[in-house]
A and B are shown apart, each in its own frame.
Chain A
């Protein structure tokens, strides 16, 4: 693992996230910026996905269960060289880059998501299919902490443990914020790690904005047998853009020109 190289990819991805949301004047920058490092690690270090196998299901797959963070997914596919579309078409009419990702429009989008909670459930189905087919491919699902308030997330984890899906890795993106504010003020989905343990998952935690820490968490996943892994990844919503960090107001709003310029200024160099 070349950390500087990953940081450089993540920086490009963050710049494209801000650019897309600014161009569209619509979208979800906060969560997208927060999960950018996890997606960078997945696509550049963890998953066996490339130009040759992207059109196949016989490879590792990723389900962005928190589908509103589509800018992060499109940006990482673009950075990986798997998506040639003009990113400025994001959320515009006739674009393949829908506000929430559509698997039939974009090769490399492994599931259409957007309605929260369902992605985890579909990832369970994919992991079962891999077991049936006797392959070693892994399935990763990224779930928001707010999203974990959806009951289907826990139905899915129950099934994942019951079917001993050690080829499934569910990553909770714990940034503590959802549309209406702090997750604990809204309804209180925490603690996620203890809940996941109670659902018979193997659980580890990491700093979701630190590549060494992310790496350790995925190495933990590789070692598990007969049970799904849950990674509780502590992230900073809006990571990389000072005025967006830890501010729920940036969950689903676009920067104006001045804010855009400041954001791009802050995202100029790898720190």
Chain B
């Protein structure tokens, strides 16, 4: 089945706010889009709309967390990680407060709204922040599990969620271990590291490649040993991401490699330091090379 990761977030958060009275939810006039409306229906007294004021939303979340609450704060990734960046830095990460920034509409798959609303840099921005943990789930089941996981972490977390429907990679019985990368398919010579909706594309491409496919959904703290092991046992590695090749998965894998004597080359398959544009999500993803077909082209050379 195909489902939006933001939808899985909304459903899981609604479940969590009913179970845990200590959870509060904040949004910035996008409750229907980010799906926090589900949590609002479940516990209206613990849902706070900050209006179109993402910076203040993050500050309010920090204050609530400083009072012992678990604060979930949502907006589009551009505004959450971008506009409110410095509040997340100074009022959430520096004091290590229990705020979960759950950002939806990440990446080019936003589609029609165009470049102003397509965040290509959020993982890079959030990953550089001390104390911040960063998660990019690839399907509805992993998204729901990540939301539950971050609710149980004491400290700041960033969760990157998408607008569009993505095919299932996992199922409702999957047991997730977010301390490890997840090898979804074992192949030879080539390893495709992927995050978010590029996991599905990498799996499709791998059918014709005899490649290993790895879902890297915990970008920070990164499973460095797992990555090193796969780099050592393959001849070529590719990092597939719906994100700028600066700061995201390619950077993260390259950083791990650069600290070792591993010589396996790592190549990027992502957004090449450019903004996106309007179009149907599938057309935008195709134009910017975020498809199984493009992965095949690159890997086959």
**Residues of A with Cβ closer than 8 Å to B?**
57, 102-104, 110-112, 114-115, 118, 120-130, 132-133, 151-152, 155-156, 158-159, 162-163
Contact = CB atoms under 8 A, between A and B. Distances in A.
Nearest to A141: B63
Contact of B91 (A104, A122, A155): A122
State the majority secondary structure of interface residues on B.
helix
Interface residues of B, number: 30
B90 A126 contact: no
Given A121-B63, A125-B71, A126-B66, 13 more contacts: A104-B95, A115-B91, A118-B59, A121-B56, A121-B58, A125-B64, A126-B63, A128-B48, A128-B63, A129-B64, A152-B59, A155-B51, A155-B56
A125 B61 contact: yes
B46 interface: yes
Contact of B51 (A124, A128, A132, A159): A159
Nearest to B65: A125
Contacts of A125: 59-67, 71
Contacts of A104: 95-96
Contact of B46 (A111, A132, A155, A156): A132
Interface of B: 24, 45-46, 48, 50-51, 53, 55-56, 58-69, 71, 86-87, 89-91, 94-96
A159 B50 contact: yes
B91 A159 contact: no
Contact of B66 (A57, A102, A155): A57
Contacts of A126: 63-64, 66-67
B48 A129 contact: no
B50 A112 contact: no
A220 B60 CA distance: 25
Contacts of A122: 59-60, 62-63, 66, 91
13 contacts: A104-B95, A110-B66, A111-B63, A115-B91, A121-B60, A124-B59, A124-B60, A125-B63, A126-B67, A129-B63, A129-B68, A133-B67, A159-B60
B67 A57 contact: yes
A163 to B, nearest CB: 7
A133 B45 CA distance: 11
B95 A163 contact: no
A212 B96 CA distance: 39
Contact of B90 (A114, A123, A128, A129): A114
Contacts of B60: 121-122, 124-125, 128, 156, 159
Nearest to B56: A155
A112 B55 CA distance: 16
A118 B87 contact: yes
